[in-house]
Chain A
């Protein structure tokens, strides 16, 4: 059995009288330590998948298994713990706490989990040791995103989920960030799932899951993933 498994996951939003089927039965599996790219058109349901996987949202039907645990059956408290101990999340818009320095933003996460990584080390890892006492507003977008990544990494999660981490970044910065993620996956064996619009990035993933209209249109396993540096777009 895979490390992560989605079996017939559906997500239906009720907006007034209308039902919007964001996910219409999604099945896929991810192995431990895989670097997964999720791609698809806007509104296809990528974010929904990631949110459900990260315990921020619940599916309407279907089974979700992460490391043997049934995420779909978890109650609110269990979900909180799941997010707390197992998941690291990186958003398109960083979502840093503006009032905390880079270091503190990372600390904010490590404060509450069981065996966090060393905060300073993690900050160093993302290449921000010189800026660690700066506030988000004093950092560039890429730096902020790196802080967000460091915050996610420092929790030492089982699963790192990134929803369009480069969406708000320029080309080079985006590349830097992606490299950081890929390196983390490779060096620490962490399972990483990244959503992107950019199909050019597909070659860098161990596995590429394409989503279309709430369904998986294809799952491609990439035997030889490329380093992100190699990719131009």
Chain B
């Protein structure tokens, strides 16, 4: 290429700078979008992979049907290719904190564990088993706050089986690669979603086995965890572990079997003991009742006896009293006779006898006699004393005589002895006389005393007899009184005893009833216990080899969803840039064609001068490639700066993401730039080719303008004649310039399609919330009931729930998770067994999506949801295999397919269920309709006895809304890009259009068309073309939207399949708006067209 040609090229660029900028812009936009959006996926994956690697996120996780023990870990450590093995424990619990209930997964960690590390964001590590780490979370949702004290329970009340603590204090907040997704999958608590997680030291657990084993694979960190290479690298290790599983699980099985047997035997013993105790207690209770019964009978007899005894005894007593009285009366008569006899006979006789005695002794009275006697007695005593004194002196003298030797003294003494003896003689005589006198006197006195005593005794006898009689009379009277009293008391006692007896009888009846109840209850308990034992025995016999499930990261909810998201981004990246390519090619084609046309004379001259085809074409190739390279450069920079960041931030609303790792994906950069360069070069070549193929002389002549032609419309004079003149011109112009028509329509259609797709994605997701939760689900939540509740208890629970504030309706039904299958395809769906269509409709709006026609549920088949039908490739009338509650699989006919967006559902009637499975479904769910939800509603419900778990949709809706917010950013990006694209395309096309028709426009101006008329002449076409283009764009957009949705959709969610009319209209309006704006700017260009210059030369 000659120097001048290069100069010419550069000069052309300067002269046609607007065109150059257009090419530059479209390429910049295209490359920016291509590189940016395509880079989003690798940047997302690299960022998270780095995070995973830094924290040694597990490569494999093993679950076993029976858990693991230390031996398993040791065995695993020997497996080839394994880097690190750690056993973890986890349990799903309900955590209560500040009246809020959370479904929490509590996971153990070991202090020195170098696997699944978490990043401590706030606070500190736990120091004891009562402390834990909680989720730091993303911007929109967080876990339990720092410092919170969480009460931990499980619906089955078996927390102790897992945890050593009932309360955990949050001391630190962490992020973990294990839970990158703010959604954390389902818990083991009747499939409620895990809301947050807690990490606790291993000693917080009471279990002695590991719930799972996590593993890192040697060298896996080197690979990107979201790549196929990684999967291929992990696979062999996974297989080796699976091989190990066969031997290792047998070991564990044996131990479990042994333990279970021991436990069974213990249970059996306990049962036997219980039975014995029960029998003993029953016997004892029976005995007690019998005793009580006997006592009652005895008591009754006693009362009867007492009554009889009272009767006889009181009669006898009365008789005795009467006899006594009679005796007394008789005695009194007798006494009176005796007294008369004594007074009249005995007493006078005795008195006269007394007098005669007195007379005999010579005294007149007894006192005289007594005086005489006393006097005589005094004499006697006196004499006696004197004799005694003399005798005493004699004895003294005798003593003295014996002792003394003094003869004088002996003499005196003998003298005195003599004298005394004499005196004694006299005294003795006197005493005898006196004593003799005393005898008759004392005899008389005794006689008198005897008589007096006789009288006195006679009188005393009478008196005492009388007294006895009187006493007797008193006694009889008192006896009568007493008898009366006693009788009364006895009667009272009998009455009391009777009352007591009656009470006793009632008591006995109660006791008997209670006994019967207790006995029945005990018996039932025993029976249940026995049934449990039998079942346990059966279960034990069924204990198979422990089943090891080795899961790779794809089975980790968080990791898998993120991988899906990356794949989604990748598919979006695969679709949209294609548009930009097409549009860029289109723009390039129009621009370059126009330029070649404008310069055909020059080309002709060059060719005539002897320049080759390629040399001539190279100018345009260089022009286009230069624009492309520059655009590509700028586009690459801006694309990488903007898109990955925006996309990453957008997904950050759903995921807890680590900081973004920006890097230049050279492969993408080279690919996209290369593609754009080749596309642009090819299009340019294509545009120039025709002119290059013409001979120079031809080129020097003006290009023959396209032929005018009648259009089809003109064949319909009825319509055609109605057109105004300018409309005719417009109509003909539109149709005549086929290339322009096509380009404009394609370009505009592309933009509208992008807009439709953008708005459509938003529609699709937002409809989920509205249609699923506001239209299809008429209920607001589900209450899962405890297993094996009796019907009356279920009714009770229902009444209790119905009585809660805000509840308007509730319904009992059967619902369970079931595998559904067609051939080898399998999906998990929720089976709902509603009694009849009416009940189904009271809780759901079951309809076709397309025509909104209501669907009737009957016994002939099942209604399945659209997405399930799609995944299993089913249509109405086909057969689907469905599991029963106890995992029997039977075939059903699909009677209809309904609209459903979240999860898979199968509706059937109990009859259909029973016909297929041969058993009745068990009621285990209450669906509840709320008017409004009180703040403590969930808590109230969950505390109702018999309620296992509660799930209401409020939180689910919130999650979806978060997801929509995330996607909104993506949608905005899409829309902005579509807008820019529309702008570039429209301005390019209009520009080309105007420059192509400059002569025509100048002619119009010469003819005196004013500004407005000229504008309209051109713009009418533009607007019509834009409109036609956007209508095509709608169709294209709907297809594109569907394509994207199908790519982005997950298995268990159906996005709305329809773009709303509003979005369609909006897309068209936005496109039209862009067209108007472009047209507005183009009026300046139109105005600038100079008549003279334009018309001077040949075209």
How far apart are the CA atoms of A108 and B736 in the complex, in Å? 18
Across the interface, B729 reaches (CB within 8 A) one of A54, A108, A113, A138, namely A108
How far apart are the CA atoms of A135 and B1006 in the complex, in Å? 21
Known: A56-B1092, A91-B1095, A99-B729. A113 touches B705 (CB 8 A): no
* B1007–A83 CB distance below 8 A: yes
B486-508 interface (Cβ within 8 A of A): none
- A sample of 28 cross-chain residue pairs with beta-carbon separation below 8 angstroms, ordered by A number, consists of A47-B1092, A51-B1092, A56-B1091, A80-B1010, A83-B1007, A84-B1007, A84-B1008, A84-B1010, A87-B1008, A89-B1006, A91-B1095, A93-B1095, A95-B1003, A95-B1006, A98-B705, A98-B707, A100-B729, A104-B725, A104-B728, A107-B725, A108-B729, A109-B1007, A111-B725, A112-B1007, A112-B1009, A113-B1008, A135-B707, A155-B1007
* B1003–A97 CB distance below 8 A: yes
A57 interface residue per 8 A CB criterion:
yes
* A99–B1010 CB distance below 8 A: no
Known: A107-B725, A137-B704. A99 touches B1006 (CB 8 A): no
Residues of chain A lying within 8 A (CB to CB) of residue B732: 99-100
* A99–B1009 CB distance below 8 A: no
Interface 0/1 of B1088-1099, CB less than 8 Å to A = 000110011010
Known: A56-B1092, A111-B725. A98 touches B1007 (CB 8 A): no
CB distance from A63 to the nearest CB of B (A): 20
CB distance from A113 to the nearest CB of B (A): 7
Interface 0/1 of A107-141, CB less than 8 Å to B = 11101110000000000000000000001111000
Across the interface, A93 reaches (CB within 8 A) one of B704, B1011, B1098, namely B1098
CB distance from B1020 to the nearest CB of A (A): 14
B709 interface residue per 8 A CB criterion:
yes
Tally of chain A residues near chain B (CB < 8 A): 36
Closest to A101 in B: B708
Q: Which of B705, B1007, B1096 has the most CB of A within 10 A?
A: B1007
Known: A85-B1008, A98-B707. 15 other contacts (CB 8 A): A47-B1096, A83-B1006, A84-B1009, A84-B1010, A89-B1006, A96-B1003, A98-B706, A98-B708, A99-B733, A100-B729, A108-B729, A108-B1007, A112-B1008, A112-B1013, A138-B707
Residues of chain B lying within 8 A (CB to CB) of residue A100: 708, 729, 732
B999 interface residue per 8 A CB criterion:
yes
Across the interface, B736 reaches (CB within 8 A) one of A91, A99, A155, namely A99
* A81–B708 CB distance below 8 A: no
Known: A99-B708, A99-B729, A99-B733. A77 touches B1010 (CB 8 A): yes
Interface 0/1 of B734-763, CB less than 8 Å to A = 001000000000000000000000000000
How far apart are the CA atoms of A71 and B51 in the complex, in Å? 79
Residues of chain B lying within 8 A (CB to CB) of residue A111: 725-726
Interface 0/1 of A16-53, CB less than 8 Å to B = 00000000000000000000000000000001000100
B1000 interface residue per 8 A CB criterion:
yes
How far apart are the CA atoms of A87 and B1008 in the complex, in Å? 9
Closest to B726 in A: A111
Closest to B1007 in A: A109
Residues of chain A lying within 8 A (CB to CB) of residue B1004: 108
Instruction: Give residues in B with beta carbon < 8 Å to A.
Output: 704-709, 725-726, 728-729, 732-733, 736, 999-1000, 1002-1011, 1013, 1091-1092, 1095-1096, 1098
Closest to B724 in A: A111
Residues of chain B lying within 8 A (CB to CB) of residue A57: 1091-1092
Residues of chain A lying within 8 A (CB to CB) of residue B1009: 80, 84, 112
Residues of chain A lying within 8 A (CB to CB) of residue B1095: 91, 93, 95
How far apart are the CA atoms of A77 and B1014 in the complex, in Å? 13
Closest to B735 in A: A99
How far apart are the CA atoms of A101 and B709 in the complex, in Å? 8
How far apart are the CA atoms of A211 and B1054 in the complex, in Å? 83
| B contact patch SS | helix
Interface 0/1 of A170-202, CB less than 8 Å to B = 000000000000000000000000000000000
Q: Which of A82, A93, A138, A151 has the most CB of B within 10 A?
A: A93
CB distance from A50 to the nearest CB of B (A): 10
CB distance from A101 to the nearest CB of B (A): 7
A49-85 interface (Cβ within 8 A of B): 51, 54, 56-57, 77, 80-85
CB distance from B932 to the nearest CB of A (A): 68
Q: Which of B704, B1013, B1091 has the most CB of A within 10 A?
A: B1091
Residues of chain B lying within 8 A (CB to CB) of residue A136: 708
Residues of chain B lying within 8 A (CB to CB) of residue A98: 705-708, 1000
* B705–A137 CB distance below 8 A: yes
How far apart are the CA atoms of A108 and B1000 in the complex, in Å? 12
Closest to A137 in B: B707
Residues of chain B lying within 8 A (CB to CB) of residue A108: 725, 729, 1004, 1007
* B708–A137 CB distance below 8 A: yes
How far apart are the CA atoms of A111 and B724 in the complex, in Å? 10
Residues of chain A lying within 8 A (CB to CB) of residue B708: 98-101, 135-138
CB distance from A125 to the nearest CB of B (A): 19
How far apart are the CA atoms of A93 and B1095 in the complex, in Å? 8
* A83–B729 CB distance below 8 A: no
Q: Which of B999, B1002, B1003, B1005 has the most CB of A within 10 A?
A: B1003
* A56–B1006 CB distance below 8 A: yes
CB distance from A25 to the nearest CB of B (A): 20
Residues of chain B lying within 8 A (CB to CB) of residue A93: 1095, 1098
How far apart are the CA atoms of A22 and B186 in the complex, in Å? 88
Interface 0/1 of A134-177, CB less than 8 Å to B = 01111000000000000100010000000000000000000000
Residues of chain A lying within 8 A (CB to CB) of residue B1011: 80
Q: Which of A54, A112, A151 has the most CB of B within 10 A?
A: A112
Residues of chain B lying within 8 A (CB to CB) of residue A85: 1008
Shortest 10 CB-CB distances between A and B: which pairs? Answer: A84-B1008, A135-B708, A83-B1008, A56-B1091, A98-B705, A137-B707, A95-B1003, A80-B1010, A99-B708, A51-B1092
CB distance from B114 to the nearest CB of A (A): 77
Residues of chain B lying within 8 A (CB to CB) of residue A151: 1007
Residues of chain B lying within 8 A (CB to CB) of residue A95: 999, 1002-1003, 1006, 1095
Closest to A83 in B: B1008
* B1008–A80 CB distance below 8 A: yes
How far apart are the CA atoms of A84 and B1005 in the complex, in Å? 9
Residues of chain A lying within 8 A (CB to CB) of residue B704: 137
How far apart are the CA atoms of A96 and B1002 in the complex, in Å? 11
CB distance from B704 to the nearest CB of A (A): 7
CB distance from B722 to the nearest CB of A (A): 16
How far apart are the CA atoms of A137 and B1099 in the complex, in Å? 14
How far apart are the CA atoms of A77 and B1095 in the complex, in Å? 20
CB distance from B1017 to the nearest CB of A (A): 10
